[in-house]
Amino acid sequence: MAGGRPERLAALRELIEQVQPVVAAHEQTLPVDPALRDLLPFGGLQRGTTICVGGGPGATSLALALVAGPSRSGAWVGCVSVDSLGWVAAAELGVDLDRVAVVRADVDEWPTVAAALVDGFDVVLCGPDHRPDQRQVARLAGRARERGAVVVALEDSASTRARPAPGRSWPGADVRLMVDPASPVDWQGPGQGWGRLRSRSLTVLASGRHGADRARRIVLGLPGPDGVGVVPGDVARPAATRPAVDVMERAGVVPFPARSA
């Protein structure tokens, strides 16, 4: 969106008025690729929740894979702070770009733009180009719960390599998906001086609350030979809680404790 701040915000409001979701608001779970279902407590993206994605190489692909399923089912995806994302790669992961709107926002505009996207879109992807503070994160999460939107927050890589500064790791996220930086990334395709990269397997750790209290581990093909897939012989399963937590803490991520009944 070009122009000054008032013009951009007016154009955003006009865009939101034109967005007509195909996925009914009463459908509380938005579908994801089958390979991702076991990472999520409801088998999909639960409306009103915030999902934080971070960790090692592959975290951006994981975030894009999460929004691919909803976009193909007719949900609208609004994106902010995503200048560094590659949309060719997003399309290859299955994102329907016809259902995606990208809005640029400077630091001062970010709270207003993000809130407007939550009001009008089924899924809001917050990229790593700007990191809001704790109060902004809490307000956005509360608005998402009220409006029934899903917020997918992609951490910048620096915030998961060292102990994150306050407000850098999306406090209060309902689900946290972390690409394990300690596990090797296995690329398939190239030979000895020939061929091209075709698929990649990486380890993802999931934790959170609302049914995701116990850490889970899955090895994904991301991308796989035919899109996103579970690596054969390594299906999703509960991980030993302490080792999974140790890995997250080494990456500077503190898993959230279970919410008391």
Q: What is the pLDDT of residues 106-134, one digit of tens each?
A: 888 899 999 999 998 999 999 988 888 99
pTM comes to 0.75
Number of domains in the chain: 1
Task: Give domain status of residue 3, yes or no.
Answer: no
Residue 185's domain comprises 27-250
Q: Return d(Cα 164, Cα 67) in angstroms, integer.
A: 25
Task: Give domain status of residue 34, yes or no.
Answer: yes
Task: Give domain status of residue 1, yes or no.
Answer: no
Q: Return d(Cα 18, Cα 160) in angstroms, integer.
A: 37
Task: Give domain status of residue 218, yes or no.
Answer: yes
Q: What is the pLDDT along the chain (261 residues), one digit of tens a residue?
A: 555 666 666 666 666 666 655 455 446 899 999 989 988 988 999 999 999 999 888 899 999 999 999 999 999 999 999 988 888 889 988 899 999 999 888 888 899 999 999 998 999 999 988 888 999 999 999 999 999 999 999 987 654 444 444 334 688 899 999 998 887 666 665 555 555 556 678 889 998 876 556 678 888 887 655 556 555 444 444 444 444 444 444 444 433 333 333
209-252 tens-digit pLDDT: 765 566 788 888 876 555 565 554 444 444 444 444 444 444 44
Burial of 104 by CB count in 10 Å (0-12 exposed, 13-18 middle, 19+ buried)? middle
Task: Give domain status of residue 14, yes or no.
Answer: no
Q: Return d(Cα 253, Cα 232) in angstroms, integer.
A: 28
